[in-house]
A and B are shown apart, each in its own frame.
Chain A
Amino acid sequence: MLLELPGFEHIDVRDFEEAVFWLDKYGERARVMAGGTDLLSLMKDRIEGPGFRIPQILVNVKPVPEMNQLTWDEKSGLRIGAALALSHLSASDLVIDKYGILAQAARSVGTTQIRNRGTVGGNICQRPRCAYFRHPHFLCFKKGGEKCLAAAGEHRFYHSIFGNGKCVMAHPSDLAPALVALKAEAVVISLREERRVPLRDFFCGANQPIETILKPDELLTEIVVPNQGIGIRQIFLKQRIRRSVDFALSSVSVVARTSGKICEHASIVLGGVSPFPYAASEAEKTLRGKSLNEQIIAEAAEAAVSGARPLPMNHFKVDLTKALVKDALLSIVETE
């Protein structure tokens, strides 16, 4: 289906003040534009729903220098501008050195072309990859319909095994789980206030038509990732159908602090299996203070999926996720 974009007004903004001014003025009629890889596709298919209208005004924030920054200092950690291209994030020596899972996750997104244009903020705020949501002819819950069509329909690959509600989408982002595991915060501004939100509270869950807490007049300006200190081990693993292009069937991000073989603390966050990055807190508890051996790792992998309530056709994701968690933890032990 080839459809041209609907008409809109295009505004280049030069600083945050201009950006929030226009967002405040136009509200739901406007949308923030940076990479555009997701937004333009949605607009071509005329996808809209409550809280997400086909925009009449695009506010291009790419020219704002701060939106493209990537800086680090010991005290405040890593600051990533929301409009930074994924390819810049994954190519940064600083990120590779200090926040390896961010580089791994960014590198595993989509394709070379997508990573050259797609942005960090866009990856976190992208809409569901559910075929019913993306198809112009289906009126699903997210588009103002009465119910989720995937729950009783095609949901083998890109739908959830945790946290299902009125919608059974799985959040497609690879970066978001990695950022949640690193205890990152989102900086959100509007004309009236600036707020910092822990990224794990940035997502709304399955019963809201939109996925994030961003209001129409708000702009996600940057992601702040705290300094992780020393003695940190981290890994990102992603399973997908093909080795490129595809979204995660399941992904796991692990950030662990170890001393010797003992695991002092571990963050395990799953992607592609829940409407939001899913913190596997049972698994985290299982590992705390324990010596990392094969048995405890198997127990943690089991605990990671203990809360799973799969849909009729995606039970395989439970086993897949369990295996990924196990692989991730084993490779952390091996890098000792």
Chain B
Amino acid sequence: MKDSKSKDGFSVSRRSFLKSFGTTAAAAATVQVEAVAQELAKANAEQTYGPGAVPITLNVNGKTLKLQVEPRVTLLEALRNHSNLTGAKEVCDRATCGACTVLLDGAPIYSCSKLAIEAQGHEITTVEGLAQDGELEPLQQAFIDHDALQCGYCTPGMILSIEALFRKIPQPTRDDIRNAIDGNLCRCGSYLNIIEAALDASARRRD
């Protein structure tokens, strides 16, 4: 994806070629476009994927996942349907509800609206990556202690959004927490307990 293989001076000639292009008469231009087309097609063969399945490599929870997916597969589908990581939930699938939240390089994103192919080269964290050696994170334990869920569908997303906040602000205020979960809907309305759990977890982390 982020591959920047040198083209041995090729890109320089192409760049100057296209720069001079603007001043060229339109009639002559067509021939040039064809010539550039061939060059570019060659150069881009390695960067054009699909529509069929292509091999991709994801870094999820510190592990390398090698998958074979079409470019149209979202990160959420890749996690749930291709790698058995069902922590991120599919609910609205339209970047609205937050149930599919995962961390991409530490920042919460909606995995339903990110293509798996574009998630290569980034560090992905799902809720499965938080517990270490069977031991729950303080935040996860706090969710249980404070009854911060009812149906549980929003929980993985909520936990990851708050986890991302903790990494930025270890001792957040109530308002910081409210802002951090502004993109996570809880249809059971457990918000108050979720905020209590987050405050408790940040206190436990400090102690």
Contact = CB atoms under 8 A, between A and B. Distances in A.
Nearest to A112: B183
B74 interface: yes
Contacts of A245: 96, 182-183, 185
B11 A21 contact: no
25 contacts: A5-B72, A7-B70, A7-B72, A8-B50, A9-B50, A9-B51, A10-B71, A10-B115, A11-B44, A11-B48, A12-B1, A14-B4, A14-B11, A17-B14, A18-B40, A36-B114, A40-B112, A44-B94, A60-B118, A112-B108, A113-B109, A114-B110, A116-B108, A117-B113, A191-B21
Interface of B: 1-2, 4, 11, 14-15, 18, 21-22, 29, 33, 36-37, 40, 43-44, 47-51, 70-74, 77, 90, 93-96, 98, 101, 104, 107-110, 112-115, 117-118, 161, 179-180, 182-185
Contacts of B93: 2-3, 44
A37 interface: yes
Interface string A27-47: 000000000110011001100
Given A7-B50, A36-B114, A192-B22, A116 B109 contact: yes
Contact of A2 (B90, B161, B180): B90
A292 interface: no
Interface residues of A, number: 46
Contacts of A114: 95, 110, 183
A8 B71 contact: yes
A60 B121 CA distance: 15
A89 to B, nearest CB: 14
Interface in A163-196: 191-194
B28 to A, nearest CB: 13
A40 B11 contact: no
Interface string A182-225: 00000000011110000000000000000000000000000000
Contacts of A63: 1-2
Given A21-B40, A22-B44, 7 more contacts: A7-B70, A8-B50, A9-B51, A10-B50, A18-B40, A44-B94, A112-B108
Given A15-B15, A21-B40, A7 B51 contact: yes
B101 A113 contact: yes
B61 to A, nearest CB: 19
A6 B72 contact: yes
Given A41-B94, A117-B110, A110 B183 contact: yes
Interface in A35-81: 36-37, 40-41, 44-45, 56, 58, 60, 62-63
A111 interface: yes
A21 B50 contact: no
Contact of B21 (A15, A37, A60, A192): A192
Contacts of A192: 21-22, 29
Contacts of B104: 116
A112 B183 CA distance: 6
A110 B184 CA distance: 11
A98 B145 CA distance: 45
A7 B73 CA distance: 9
A63 B47 CA distance: 11
Contacts of B37: 21, 25
